[in-house]
Amino acid sequence: MKAFRLALVRQKYRPDGGAERFVSRALEALENQNIELNVITREWQGDINPDWNVHLCNPWKFGRVSRERGFANAARQIWQKEKFDLVQSHERIPGCDLYRAGDGVHVRWLEERSRLLPQYKAKRLFTDRFHRYVMQAEKDMYAAPELKAVICNAEMVKKEIIERFSVPAEKIHVIYNSVNNQHFIPATAPLRAQLRQQYGVPANATCMIYVGSGFERKGLDAAIKAISGTSRHLLVVGKDKNEPRYRELAAASGCKDRVHFFGVQQNTLQFYQMADGLLLPTLYDPFPNVILEAMACGLPVITTPTCGGAEFIENGRNGFVCDALDINDLQQAIMALPSNVVDSRESLNSRETVMNNTPQHLSEQLLNLYKELLNR
């Protein structure tokens, strides 16, 4: 049987990016199937499997709109020339067969971000040239006749797409992200003690972990403020050009010695294994992989109702769901978690929640969807 030619489109592959990890995990899960795997990208920073066909297209760009429009046009030219059987885009590009809404709905992000801004700045968000381009590209993509289906990683995003773009519900498929639960595993007490000694984290401290780059969107400001009103520590894994401002916030909030910045880490496992819970008061996030990774490591999760990961959280059982800007509620949730997560009921519940979210299950769901679309 002839292999069907699948093209995945992602503008920039970064090993620490959530959407990129979905792409790489999907590729790995699918590589033993009868599929010719192609990736269309501007830049691929990770390892390249020799069996994958990577199509690099890096058109000239000047500014953000030029970058988005240029890549969209170049990527479209490649897939039209190659005549792939199925084009799955992770970017808002009209003309793709299948779109994965890993970044959610752009206007919803703007609405949540505007909560942090003075009214006059909030208004500017919606008239900004770049944001207007993204919103229009998104609208055009959902209206394009070529679009056969949409993949969402949360029911939250499916609902938003239906409400904002009137896409038929049967066209939208919720496929949750996957996690390797044999790699992301809970720490034993001796291992945790060893890791904390290695990284200079107090042995008996109760530690929340924050994982993510793009500190404003992921809510590090609220996380630090919430930690400041407790006795807990915060392990910050990720990068942001404004990191000095967050260090200053920790100092001004009186918790400088309890907020530990570790930067971007290729191996996040050992940092999860040092922690007692994940604190991610994100303003808007369709479904960050870090929630699955943390839960597989037995960490209860504190996140927000504007995060698709909240669909996996049962208050008091495996974490809490709090408003991103409600510092008092976040503090209460932090203090309600076990002071030592190792072998706790919450730890067992968290890991149990995500055990079925395997790469194999993701592969099965994707293959079934591909077959359905190809048979139409």
pLDDT tens-digit series, residues 41-75: 988 776 667 777 889 988 888 899 999 999 999 99
Residues 50 and 137 in one domain: yes
pLDDT of residue 26: 65
| Rounded average pLDDT over 168-185 | 95
φ, ψ dihedrals at 325, nearest 5°: -110, 5
Structural domain boundaries enclosing 117: 4-178+358-375
Give the domain CATH number at 73.
3.40.50.2000
CA distance 304 to 312: 11
The reply to whether 120 and 226 lie within a common domain is no
The overall longest dimension of the chain from CA atoms, in Å, is 65
Domain count, the chain: 2
Q: What average pLDDT does range 10-31 have in this prediction?
A: 66
Task: Give the integer Cα–Cα distance in Å for 294 and 272.
Answer: 6
pLDDT in tens, 252-308: 999 999 999 999 998 999 999 999 999 999 999 999 999 999 999 999 999 999 999
Same domain membership, residue 216 and residue 350? yes
Dump pLDDT digits (tens) for 82-139: 999 999 999 999 999 999 999 999 999 999 999 988 888 888 989 999 999 999 999 9
Asked whether residue 346 falls in the same domain as residue 366, the answer is no
Residue 28, pLDDT score = 65
If one compares 228 and 116, the residue with the highest pLDDT of the two is 228
Question: Which pLDDT score, from 0 to 100, does residue 24 have?
Answer: 63
Pair (10, 147) in one structural domain: yes
The reported pLDDT for the residue numbered 21 is 62
Q: Report the chain's mean pLDDT, rounded to a whole number.
A: 91
Tokens of 107: 């206007």
Neighbouring CB atoms inside 10 A of 14's CB total 16
The burial class, CB within 10 Å (0-12 / 13-18 / 19+), for 325 is middle
Handedness of CA 318, 321, 326, 328 (dihedral sign): negative
Please say whether the beta carbons of 319 and 302 come within 8 A: yes
The closest of 52, 17, 48, 15 to 37, measured between CA atoms, is 52
Tell me the per-residue pLDDT of 200-222, one tens digit each, with 9 for 90 and over. 999 999 999 999 988 999 999 99
90 and 174 both lie in a single domain: yes
Q: Tell me the average pLDDT across 185-194.
A: 96
